[in-house]
Amino acid sequence: MSTSRLRLLDNTRIGEVRRAIRGWYRTNARDLPWRRTSDPYRILVSEIMLQQTQVQRVIPKYRAFLVRFPTLRALATASLADVLRMWSGLGYNVRAKRLWECAMFVVAHHGSRIPSDIETLRALPGIGRYTASAVASFAFGAHEAVADVNVRRVLARALLGRESIDDATAWWLAERALPRDHASTWSQALMDVGARFCRPAPDCAACPARRACASSARGGAPAIRERKAKRSEKFVGSRRYYRGRVVRALAGARSLRLHVLGEQVKDGFATTDLPWLRSLLADLEREGLIALNARHDRAALP
């Protein structure tokens, strides 16, 4: 979006959207376990887990993970294999490795204390702009905007009447809409509206911001059909699907012979599938998620 068009952003609309969403959030906020704490370690764990994963899948894993690794030092001193075992089933297992590496770095270079400064946070291994901003805001009360997928969808529709915006515009909008006080509460309110009403297939009629929303003024956001079933079909049988099955199978065993692993990973596994399995395992080994023993034709968590 051009700079000249961004200048047309209606400040009155920003104020109206803020009031509507904040007013709704005061009595309708989701009761999520990571919102009951300001512990930066626990908030960091939640933010890494929530990347590309639904809240309801994260909650039980989050609780179990913190029982096993209650502090950042406990995580840093654990083996990667133990961390992967606790993470198994959540998906995108490389996130667990990055979180573990981040914990070790903080223990080694920051005295086991997660830094509060936004630039120092962004310099931690595996931490990007969004996660750094979220930890700074939610754990330390910093006046930082966040722009996750829900936030950017709500702001694009409510303030610009658009369905999609690029990253630069999303962050610009998030910073422009950020109130002077209670920044973290505002960001969490946007996330809840995005999760409940302003979904890819929006429920504009029930949305608390409908009277102030730019999309609503134009007849509502397009009724984009959600394709959950098709997405599920596309995932099942994908390389990512089998990667997850490999980690889950190895999480329950010290090591497995490749043909035994293959039978647990793929229905109808045959000797002719071994090259495919070896390729899959080679990718996981390069990422440090498994260890291969070529001499004994076995695989294990690292």
State pLDDT tens for residues 199-213: 999 999 999 999 999
195 domain-assigned: yes
224 domain-assigned: no
227 domain-assigned: no
Q: How many domains does the chain have?
A: 3
Say yes or no: 174 and 205 in one domain: yes
Query: Per the residue annotation, which of 16, 47, 101, 226 is the catalytic one?
Result: 47
Category of 176 on φ-ψ map: left (φ > 0), alpha (ψ -120 to 50) or beta:
alpha
Say yes or no: 172 and 263 in one domain: no
Say yes or no: 25 and 149 in one domain: yes
For position 245, which CATH number holds? 1.10.10
Say yes or no: 43 and 134 in one domain: yes
pTM of the model: 0.88
Per the structure, the complete domain to which residue 93 belongs is given by 39-140
Say yes or no: 292 and 255 in one domain: yes
Final residue before a domain boundary, out of 193, 217, 241: 217
Say yes or no: 25 and 154 in one domain: yes
Helix (H) or strand (E) holding 299: strand 298-300
Please say if the pLDDT value at position 193 is more than 50. Answer: yes
Say yes or no: 129 and 198 in one domain: no
Please say if the pLDDT value at position 267 is more than 90. Answer: yes
Say what the pLDDT of residue 6 is: 52
Say yes or no: 71 and 116 in one domain: yes
| Cβ-contact 258, 280 below 8 angstroms | no
192 domain-assigned: yes
Say what the pLDDT of residue 224 is: 54
Final residue before a domain boundary, out of 87, 110, 140: 140
| Cβ-contact 264, 271 below 8 angstroms | no
Cα–Cα distance, 171 to 182 (Å, whole number): 18
pLDDT tens for 35-62 read 999 999 999 999 999 998 999 999 999 9
Say what the pLDDT of residue 216 is: 80
225 domain-assigned: no
Task: For the beta carbon of residue 228, count every other beta carbon within 10 angstroms.
Answer: 8
Final residue before a domain boundary, out of 217, 252, 281: 217
Say yes or no: 93 and 167 in one domain: no
pLDDT tens for 107-164 read 999 999 999 999 999 999 999 999 999 999 999 999 999 999 999 999 999 999 998 8
285 domain-assigned: yes
Helix (H) or strand (E) holding 107: helix 94-109
pLDDT tens for 270-291 read 999 999 999 999 999 999 999 9
User: Would residue 101 show up in a list of annotated catalytic residues for this protein?
Assistant: no
Say yes or no: 52 and 9 in one domain: no
For position 162, which CATH number holds? 1.10.1670.10
| Cβ-contact 221, 215 below 8 angstroms | yes
CA nearest to 210, candidates 200, 201, 221: 221
Say yes or no: 193 and 247 in one domain: no
228 domain-assigned: no
Which of the four pLDDT bands, split at 50, 70 and 90, describes residue 231?
A: low
3-state secondary structure of 230: helix
For position 76, which CATH number holds? 1.10.340.30
Q: For the residues 10-19, what does the mean pLDDT come to?
A: 89
226 domain-assigned: no
Say yes or no: 59 and 120 in one domain: yes
Q: Please report, rounded to a whole number, the percentage of residues in the chain having pLDDT higher than 70.
A: 92
